[in-house]
Amino acid sequence: MVVKVAVFVIFGCDLEPHSNEPYLATSLQDFWGRRWNLMVPGILRQAVYTPIRQVSKRKLNSVLSLFLGFLVTFVVSGAVHELMLFCLTRELPTGEVTMFFVLNGVCTAAEVVVKKKFERRLWRMSPLLSRVLTVGFVVVTGGWLFFPLLIRKGMIERLANEALFVNDLNGLIRSGFLIDLCKKKN
């Protein structure tokens, strides 16, 4: 959000949205593939998942190939996040963030396999319950494995302060205060 506002303020153009109402996700596959970090799934699908599936399906059955594709994709995502966090915090990776993604990858793969196996069953989980379980799972695993490093290094507070600053700056720009201030100096 901060980057989107900054790009809009500086360049006057709008970026693609980062997410698509992730709190409405009805499955982990829906959350990670269609609702969260919208640019990344397409990149990871083409660069990691599809090549792994193509190579592994020659040697493994479809279930193992699917698991391997998800696992490697989520490991890569975890490693990239660890690298980004290292650059931001200068703290050596602990593996917590990668484990968050590995756990979510394994659970997403298991979810896909179970759905395929039982897709012809008459019973379906209610969308409300599946949303609560999906978002709850991501929040709990994120609180357990993803956020501790950010909290230890004060990153949450810094990001909140930066977001508030950008929001205030955006308000000043929209109100015309900064434009009037610049005109008075000239």
Is 1 contained in some domain?
no
Within a domain: 101: yes
125-162: pLDDT as tens digits: 899 999 999 999 999 999 999 999 888 888 888 878 88
Q: Which helix (H) or strand (E) holds 8?
A: helix 2-11
Q: Which residue stretches of the chain are H helix?
A: 2-11, 28-30, 39-44, 50-56, 62-89, 96-118, 127-141, 147-152, 155-175, 177-185
With respect to residue 91, please indicate whether it lies within any of the assigned structural domains. yes
Q: What is the pLDDT of residues 156-176, one digit of tens each?
A: 888 788 878 877 777 777 776
Q: Is residue 7 part of a domain?
A: no
> Which of 11-20, 58-67, 93-102, 172-181 has the weakest average pLDDT?
172-181
Say if pTM beats, i.e. exceeds, 0.85: no
Work out how many domains the chain is built from and give that number.
1
Has residue 6 been placed in a domain?
no
* Residue 57 forms part of a structural domain: yes
- Alpha carbons 55 and 34: distance in angstroms, whole number: 25
Quote the pLDDT of residue 177.
63
Domain span including residue 32: 21-153
